[in-house]
Structure 1
Amino acid sequence: MRTLVLNAGYEPLAVVSFKRALVLVMNEKATIVERVEGEPVWGTRAVYDRPAVIVLTRYVRVPSARRSPVTRRGVLRRDGFRCGYCGSSATTIDHVLPRSRGGKDSWENLVACCLRCNNVKSDRTPQEMGWKLRIAPSAPRGGTWTVRGAERTDPKWERYLPIAA
């Protein structure tokens, strides 16, 4: 079971384990905003509801330049598991500018790709192939990207997560 953690200003920070959330509540560092229906948790001093969403009692400063790390899974998810060249189902990723030519592992240089397009393109650029990208690759934005662990959301979290831009 996982819990969404909100900053004191109600902006989403992270997703933590149920156990970690309960420790924050027990130590009075957070309060429960949304509860999970079911059996309460019995502590030595009190009975606690199972937290689905908690809010911190003190504001935590978050760096404004928070950026999602580039991962294979993230690129596939960003592109909707569709090939950036032909639109078919993607199972791998491709460097738009090949690494052998100085292409970096960045959100702007990686696209989801099907095996066929990846093999045909090989060590060339889309321009050399006469191909056009279906999307302009860029770093993902929105609540589910800036909040670590929020890719699998709970329905109780939706009103606290910003809509993806």
Structure 2
Amino acid sequence: MNASYEALGTVDVARAVCLVWKRTAQMVEKDGARVLRSQHYVFEVPSVVRLVEYVDIRRRRNESGKQRLRIIMRDKMKCQYCGVRGTQFDLTLDHIMPRSRGGRSDAENLCAACKQCNQRKGDRTPDEARMPLLASPSALRYGLDKAMLRHYAESRPEWLPYLFLADKTEVA
């Protein structure tokens, strides 16, 4: 979380412990009874950390790995051509306007697609392939969008108080 308690994303346990150890972040929630031990120290495993200093997320650019996940989550983990539900590992990103025709690799020209639909569409536009999109793609917002917040709330219920969802009792 940012210093303002705004959800920014996730880090692994090692990174969270390092941030707390360096006093770059504060531990807000512990991960139950889990601890890390070294020869001289015992570290409580953080479940939620908050940065000490505010980070202006509007200036941060999407890293390509995170952009892929964000686009798949924006599209509700569904192929935008046939509607089949998948995971971030089953789905691919498809260029709506093919790159060979000047299509860009930005969020407005990318959508989640199953491998079969992506291969069937090939180097054509959805109209040429007669494969209409189920939803038109939108730009990614900075910070965490509602789809990502819901995903985190489902996977880590202890994060729910920090995700600022309108109805914290209903996650799906």
User: Structure 2 length as normaliser, TM-score?
Assistant: 0.65
Q: Deviations over 1:74-108 (max 9, x none)?
A: 24443234222222356433221111111111211
Between structures 1 and 2, the one with greater helix share: 2
d(CA) in 1 for partners of 2:21, 2:119: 55
The alignment's C-alpha RMSD in Å is: 3.8
1:160 aligns with 162
Larger radius of gyration: 1
d(CA) in 1 for partners of 2:24, 2:63: 28
2:55 aligns with 61
d(CA) in 2 for partners of 1:146, 1:14: 9
2:110 aligns with 110
2:128 aligns with 128
Task: Tell me, yes or no, if structure 1 residue 93 matches structure 2 residue 93.
Answer: yes
- Structure 1's 66 and 31: CA in aligned 2 closer, same or farther, altered over 3 A? closer
Between structures 1 and 2, the one with greater strand share: 1
d(CA) in 1 for partners of 2:41, 2:122: 62
- Structure 1's 102 and 35: CA in aligned 2 closer, same or farther, altered over 3 A? same
d(CA) in 2 for partners of 1:93, 1:28: 38
Q: Unaligned regions of 5+ residues in structure 1, if any?
A: 1-5
- Structure 1's 155 and 112: CA in aligned 2 closer, same or farther, altered over 3 A? same
Structure ranking higher on relative contact order (CA contacts 8 Å, 6+ apart) = 1
Q: Unaligned regions of 5+ residues in structure 2, if any?
A: 167-172
TM-aligned CA deviation for residue 34 of structure 1: 0.9
Indicate conservation of the 8 Å contact 1:70/1:105, yes or no: no
Q: Describe the SS at the equivalent of 1:31.
A: strand
d(CA) in 2 for partners of 1:40, 1:92: 37
- Structure 1's 44 and 55: CA in aligned 2 closer, same or farther, altered over 3 A? farther
- Structure 1's 143 and 118: CA in aligned 2 closer, same or farther, altered over 3 A? closer
Correspondence for 2:13 among 18, 23, 26: 18
User: Structure 1 length as normaliser, TM-score?
Assistant: 0.67
1:3 aligns with none
Indicate conservation of the 8 Å contact 1:97/1:125, yes or no: yes
Q: Describe the SS at the equivalent of 2:162.
A: coil
- Structure 1's 12 and 83: CA in aligned 2 closer, same or farther, altered over 3 A? closer
Q: Deviations over 1:99-126 (max 9, x none)?
A: 1111111211122223443344333222
- Structure 1's 132 and 61: CA in aligned 2 closer, same or farther, altered over 3 A? same
